[in-house]
Structure 1
């Protein structure tokens, strides 16, 4: 099995070769979440995978239908997740329990007991469907606990400290108030919220989703995507082993990797994909593999994709690999290619993407 064939299969699975996703939720479910650190990038990631994208569809799914939820998930970054599967992702993102490590406590000035106090106060503040800004939530926590220490802790590193609360199912993002972020309780905001599942049950959901979009892969590749390899290797291997006959093994360039058994024939039949595609910044096609994946991004070009401050550039794909980067500029698309890309295919894709730009 070659990476060329694997990338052709991934492009089809991820609605890249053929943009035929039925909805924003369809995209989030198939990709194992859509990174949403930058809201416009998340909206573009959905639109570029839809044959007939609808303006405002992500906002409707988040705010009106509530079939998507925005919250901290993989690698501690904001993602759009299907509301009915979000709990599984949250459980697995918190499985490493990094807040219990002395180094984390020294860095952020908070103990597990502090987090438990914040979580309890936040749960009470967000009960009954309340939606609070960061400032309102901080004030409610301090008033509830009477702790000036927690005021200082929340004031200096509120985002870091609230991430475990997201993974515990205490809070998620609510509707923004202008430029201000708000928080709500998943129980009060998401229809059908059933609480957090056991870790083993959560792992089955998330491993299957990951392999269905980003397979074949090893447990190590999965944990790099999930937590930047923060979990114990034996735990991650156990999650894969628990799937038993639902997985099969294939060799990619001589390396044994796991794949959902139901996708084996489809992968073996995948013909090389030749289209040119433009994907936006922070796209899951890149993040699922990781910017260090040299089968996707030439090592000497990594810095052009993974830039300073964690910024992931929009990319040009040709035959499944990253062949350049691009950026929107005054309603047009400026491409910087480092490989030969068929001009006619690139021009057609630029025309398609122009219509999706804000």
Structure 2
């Protein structure tokens, strides 16, 4: 009867000592012991001689349990209140109870429609994220089959876009052609995403101009803040709709968090010649008018948020196409900024 044992890692003292002239490592003077590690996930650390950190055990999910219990209590309370209200209405007048039941059915139908819309929006967002990750993995691993699958899934994702029908047909004609991984994904990027990229850039430039103009003309700071937030929300929804996402409330919160995270990560990478030009343009605008400089600054921040939203909502990474930069929007932003002399 044979027994199986867990894999072990052995580190023999003196194994890393230099070899002698005969090619044999010298025997250590004193045996300090052999280190044995039972966990296979710690074999590499044991073989390298590095200390093995103790695994931290996850505690009980008290926060999740609290929210679940509180949500259950609130749901029970609302259900009991509705049941008592309908019962009281039936006792008062049967037709009132019937009206209450009809209204309750309409509310349940509306709630079901909202839940289905949220789930559909989340599914489309996850599909876009999966396409972007699969494309990056195919390029990194040089996987031709995976690249063909990404192009096929992307074409099916935009099957309802009539303006992209010609691009889908050209991709289908080259489905069996021998192409490099980057060339195949870059071809799909050019045929299907280039028109959408232009629409997204135009939407970002338009939102930045609107924020710049409203900020320069508004007399109150609270109006500036409110309009900047409103423009950012509308811009994020617009870019998501351009690339095929239809986020509901939960999907929008997920996209907003991802866009802000992307903006935070890439915030320190915007230093260069283009950033110097933008700061120079802001200084010129500020000399003309303080409100004008503030408007340009808010417009640039809206444009940066829009570019981060574009990177999050786009189904493919930029392979052959040039990613939009802040300077592209800044040039459009500063054109109408300086007022004509009277």
- TM-score interval w.r.t. the shorter chain? under 0.3
Instruction: Select the structure that is richer in helix.
Output: 2
- TM-score scaled to structure 2, two decimals? 0.21
What TM-score, normalized by structure 1, do the two folds share?
0.20
| Bigger Cα Rg | 2
